Amino acid sequence: MARHLITSAIPYINGIKHLGNLVGSQLPADLYARYLRGRGNEVLFLCATDEHGTPAELAAAKAGKPVDEYCAEMHEVQSGIAEGFRLSFDHFGRSSSQRNQELTQHFAGVLDEQGLIREVSETQMYSPTDGRYLPDRYIEGTCPNCGFDSARGDQCDNCTKQLDPVDLINPHSTISGATDLEMRETKHLYLCQSQMKDELEAWIDSKSDWPVLTTSIAKKWLNDGDGLQDRGITRDLDWGVPVKKGTEDWPGMEGKVFYVWFDAPIEYIACSQEWVDAGKGEDWQRWWRTDAGAADVTYTQFMGKDNVPFHTLSFPATILGSGEPWKLVDYIKSFNYLNYEGGQFSTSRGRGVFMDQALEVLPSDYWRWWLLSHAPESSDAEFTWENFQASVNKDLADVLGNFVSRVTKFCRSKFGEVVPEGGSYGEAEEALLAELTERLQRYEQMMDAMEVRKSAQELRAIWAAGNEYLQSAAPWAAFKEDPERAAAIVRLSLNLIRLYAVLSAPFIPDTSAVLKEAMKLDSLDWPGDLNEALSALPAGAEFTVPENLFRKITDDEREEWQQRFSGKRD
């Protein structure tokens, strides 16, 4: 049994996320975690809310609540929505936890001991109107690189270029909109990433199996322009992890906090400590410390492409620079963007479908299937209501749902709610077995490789193979001439439903659970030998006919939803 540590990029606390956020990290991570568990591996799947920094402060101010109260409430909201999408986190933590505070301060202390922290006196944007220094995300303006007019003071979301607030054209405060910004002197801590460039580059070069999207972004940051730069890791903010050198005060850093991008990835480790504190696990160190058993762990991270620089450079610089035996990531699965109906999702304009709204419209499996089968892996993808309707109606309702309905209802009408006995298998069954054996092997290969869309295609093909067999074998016709032949067809088809319950569980877990209950299964053991798997339900085994697994989306519904989600959100 292999051991797998899986983390999903932790979502900001500032509000409910849209479907693009979901498919860019949490959902494919859940798919992989469920698959690995299904194959009998030991899995620790962690995520959390990212609660520090400007987004939290701004969102709390807008909500008229203290920031700690706002974060606590939104953590509950995001946790509930994650459960609604059946995200199977072993723990869903909080970056504002005491565990993360202590661990962040620990890393800062050991990095300083290693000579990788330097103090810098610098000028920083100050807003007289707001009466405060403005951290990077409190400043927006036009990107000097690509011309995007909503670039932030730390990074342009359009071209991903790393920026400083002074680089922006026509900068303004995101708090008040003030443009009378001025530069004032302040002092901050910098992580000396430039000292680690060669070590980081060698480490990245060793990851020849990583997606091109991941390595290309990392190497761009390593080598473009002046190369990898030292990075400020403190901010003039009230909300965050107080700057300390381990447990000691840091002279000259009073009243400052660590930059959210320094403490947020450390929460992956702290989250495992929270997991133990919550009584869900026993030994977090065997997952994270190579001197305590983590050397045999395979660690996989899932994230959108905008998070890649911090996970390939800044966080590894923290881990490697500490000189301590922490587990480094083995594989980073990154995703492009999901766009919406010819444009971008927009939180501010309410354009697109947000996670809470999606669950109001349809059950989670409908969304899980479409998002995963259209995951933006090799390029950006686009959500359209026409495509969503077609995929749900054809893949889920016509292929899988129709097969289950036809088989179980026909069996009930002719043989009762038991697996029928009699008859034997022939050429048609042998041909189906050969096709399924080949497709199952490809499905496993694609899932092992985290090829999400290709995995969905193979799973759909496995469903379709059963449908084609049923249509060709036609037990309703065979029953008139040879009831035993019809019994054999139905027996195999009922075993196919059991197989589908197992193989579909990572993609559509609720539907899998319905099939498990209908087939009266004790477990969903992954098939080893397909011959055995397709005879696991013996003659005489009882089942029940499930309700229709999926309903079709009507044209009227599609048009209503297109209008509803075109650009307003209360």
Nearest partner of 549 among 517, 516, 519, 511, judged by Cα: 511
Bridge partner list, 335: 304
pLDDT value for 480: 94
Pairing label, strands 234-235, 257-258 = antiparallel
Rounded Cα distance, 481 and 475, in Å: 10
Contact criterion met (CB below 8 Å) for 144 and 168? yes
pTM value surpassing 0.85: yes
SS3 state at 316: helix
Q: With b meaning 16 or more CB within 10 Å and e meaning fewer, what string describes 97-115?
A: bebbbbbbbbbbbbbbeee
Neighbours of 392 (CB within 10 A): 23
Torsion angle, alpha carbons of 14, 17, 20, 23, to 10: 110
The closest alpha carbon to 297, from 307, 310, 284, belongs to: 284
Residue indicated by tokens 């001197």: 291
Token pair of 429 as six digits: 């069954």
Spacing of C-alpha 61 from chain mean position: 28
Q: Which pLDDT does position 346 carry in this prediction?
A: 82
CA distances from 66 to 56, 134, 234, 300, 474 (A): 10, 19, 22, 35, 66
H/E segment holding residue 59: helix 54-63
Nearest of 271, 357, 237 to residue 50 by alpha carbon: 271
Q: How many CB atoms lie within 10 A of CB 569?
A: 18
Measuring CA to CA, how many Å separate 236 from each of 76, 165, 249? 28, 14, 16
Q: Which residues of the chain have a pLDDT value below 70?
A: 568-570
Q: Which residue has the tokens 């610098």?
A: 122
Contact 195, 320 (CB under 8 A): no
Residue 178: CB atoms within 10 A of its CB come to 14
Give me the residues paired with residue 340 across strands.
Answer: 343, 383
What tens digit of pLDDT does each residue of 305-314 get? 999 999 999 9
Please state whether beta strands 169-173 and 139-142 pair in parallel, antiparallel, or not at all (unpaired): antiparallel
pLDDT of residue 569: 44
Q: How far apart are the first and last CA of the chain?
A: 48
Other Cβ atoms closer than 10 A to 78: 24
Q: Read off φ and ψ for residue 422, nearest 5 degrees.
A: 100, 160
Q: Given CA atoms 382, 383, 389, 392 in this order, what sign does their dihedral have?
A: positive
Integer Cα distance of 306 and 170 in angstroms:
24
**For residues 170, 176, 182 and 185, what is the CA-based torsion angle, rounded to 10 degrees?**
-130
| Residue 460 host element (H or E) | helix 452-473
SS (H, E, C) 405-459: HHHHHHHHHHCCCECCCCCCCCHHHHHHHHHHHHHHHHHHHHHHCCCHHHHHHHH
CA angle, residues 420, 422, 426, in degrees to nearest 5 = 110
Cα angle for residues 368, 372, 375 (degrees, 5° grid): 140
Fill in the amino acid letter for 392. V
The confidence score (pLDDT) of residue 568 equals 56
